[in-house]
Amino acid sequence: MLVIFCILTFVASKIYAGTEQCLPSKSSIENELHRVHIPGLAAIVVNATDVLYSEGFGYHSPLSTQHPIDPSRSIFVIASISKTFVALAAMQLVESEVLNLDNDVNYYLKFPTRIIHPLFPNATITMRHILSHSTGLGSNYEEDFQHGMPGDDFVKTNLTEVVLRYLTSSASWLAKAPGDVTYYSNINAAWGALVVERISHLSFERYVRLMILDRLGIEWTEASYRLADFASRREDIVEHFLYNTSLLATYQQIIPQLNVVQAANSSDWLYLPPYGISVYPAAMLRMSAYSLSIYLQSFLNNFTPRLLKKSSTVDEMLRIVRQEGPADEPDVQYALIWNWRTQKSRRLVGHRGWMPGIAHSMMTNAERTLGVILLSSGDITWGDALAQQVSSTLVNLMDQLFNCYEELALHSSTCFQTVGDFQIMAFVFLLYFFAKY
C-alpha cells in the first residue's frame, strides 16, 4: 500500500493536484489583487523539466471583463526582466572568446573618443562593471525622461547615439569611481547591449532573436521588442492603467510625449497608451508568462545546451560582484545583471521589473531547482503606500508558490526514498500486467 500511495502522490503532484491544500483559491487571490488595484496577473511555476503551475487572475483592463489574463496568450512588456537577456548575450560572447569581462570596454566599443568617468579619467571601465551596475553612472533625469516614445518610435532612434549622449554628459556620473558603488540604471544595461552590438555586428534586437529566442523555439509573434510584431493579436497585449488620477498633470508634464490620459468612463484610472523607450534592451521585450517560462526553465538547466556550452558560465554570471547593494535596495546583491535577494527568509536569484502600470518578478530558489514568474499590471511607480501594498501582495504570492511547490517536491522525493527504485519498478510492472490482462 505504501508503494501505491507514493506513486499516486507523485503523479498527483505532477498534474498539480494537491495545490488546493497549500495555495489560496483563485477567487481569494483575485480578491486580494483587487484590493490593491492590480487588474490582472499571470503566475507560472517551473522546475527544470515541467510547468508545475499556470494560472491567470483578473483581466487585461480594470474597466472590462472582455479579456481574462491567460498565461499562454496575454502579452506583457516584461520591463527590467529584459536586462537578463543582455547578461546572457554577454556570456555567450565570453564563451566564444570574443569578450573578456575585465578588459577595458573601450577596446570593444572602438569609438573615436574613449568613454571615461569624467571625475576618474584614468580608471578602467569593464563589462563586469557595466553588467553589475558599478560603472559609477548615476541618473540623468533630463535624458531619462526623453527615452520614452509612443508606439514603436524607438526604432527611429539610434542606440549608439542615445547611449553616447548619456555617457558623455558629466551630469550622468556619480562622484564614485568605477567599482566603488552599485547604482542600478537602465543606461548600464543599454550600454552592455551596445557592447554586444559592436562585437557581434548585429543590432541587439536581431542578436536576441537569432541567438536566444530562435534557439528556444520562441517565435517572433510570441516575443518581440516591437508592438508591430503583435499586430495580428492586439487583443492579447496587456496595456497600462494607473490607479491615481491625481497624477495626470504630473505625467503630462514630465512625459508629455506618452499621451497619458484619464481612462474613458472612469474617475479612478489613468490610461497609458502602448509605448517604448529608446534604450529598449533595458526594458522593452514583450512576451507571455509562458514564453518567459521557457527562458526561465533554460536558466534552471544552466542555459545548456541550446544557449550556453558550459554550466560554469552561469556560475560566473551569478557570482556577486559587490557585496554592497544600491542605496535604495541595500540588501540586493548584483551579479551580472541577475541579482540575489532574501525574501521572506528565502534566498532568491532572478530579476524584478516595473514600469508605470506593471510590476513583475522572475525568481528562482538559491539551488535553482524551482522558478516562479509573476507578471502583473500593478503599479509601484511612486513608492507610495499603495505601491508598498502592491509589492507586499506580489511578495506574499511568490512566497506561497515557493512554499507550496517546494513542499510537494519534498514529499515526492521522500516517497521515492522510502519505497526504493526496485519496489517502484515492481509496482509499475504489476499495473501494466493487470491493465493488459
Residue 173's pLDDT band, with cuts at 50, 70 and 90, is very high
Residue 436 lies in a domain: no
| Contact (Cβ atoms closer than 8 angstroms) between residue 25 and residue 43 | no
Q: What is the pLDDT of residue 18?
A: 56
CA atoms of 230 and 223, how far apart (whole Å): 9
CA atoms of 303 and 309, how far apart (whole Å): 8
Residue 359 lies in a domain: yes
Residue 75 lies in a domain: yes
Q: What is the pLDDT of residue 427?
A: 42
CA atoms of 143 and 161, how far apart (whole Å): 12
Which one has a higher pLDDT value, 18 or 294?
294
Residue 190 lies in a domain: yes
Q: What is the pLDDT of residue 434?
A: 40
Over the stretch 222-242, which tens digit does the pLDDT of each residue have? 999 999 999 999 999 999 999
CA atoms of 385 and 394, how far apart (whole Å): 15
Given a cut of 80, is residue 189 above it in pLDDT? Answer: yes
What average pLDDT does the structure give for the chain? 91
Given a cut of 50, is residue 372 above it in pLDDT? Answer: yes
Residue 437 lies in a domain: no
Half-sphere exposure for 269 (CA within 13 Å, toward CB): 21
Residue 59 lies in a domain: yes
Residue 179 maps to which CATH number? 3.40.710.10
Over the stretch 23-50, which tens digit does the pLDDT of each residue have? 999 999 999 999 999 999 999 999 999 9
Look-up of cell digits 541567438: 211
Average pLDDT over residues 138-151: 96
| Contact (Cβ atoms closer than 8 angstroms) between residue 362 and residue 296 | yes
Angle of helix 385-419 relative to helix 26-35, nearest 10 degrees?
160
Domain that holds residue 341: 39-404
Cβ contacts of 227 within 8 Å, gap of 6 or more: 151, 152, 237, 274, 276, 286
Q: What is the pLDDT of residue 419?
A: 44
Cβ contacts of 274 within 8 Å, gap of 6 or more: 150, 151, 227, 237, 239, 240
Over the stretch 331-369, which tens digit does the pLDDT of each residue have? 999 999 999 999 999 999 999 999 999 999 999 999 999
Nearest Cα neighbor of 123 from 108, 111, 106 is 106
Q: What is the pLDDT of residue 412?
A: 60
Q: What is the pLDDT of residue 430?
A: 40
Nearest Cα neighbor of 360 from 257, 178, 238, 258 is 238
Q: What is the pLDDT of residue 409?
A: 76
If one counts the domains in the chain, the total is 1
Residue 109 lies in a domain: yes
Q: What is the pLDDT of residue 22?
A: 86
Average pLDDT over residues 119-124: 98
Q: How far is CA 247 from CA 266, 270, 380, 426, 433, in A?
A: 14, 8, 13, 67, 69
Residue 408's pLDDT band, with cuts at 50, 70 and 90, is confident
CA atoms of 181 and 156, how far apart (whole Å): 34
Over the stretch 243-256, which tens digit does the pLDDT of each residue have? 999 999 999 999 99
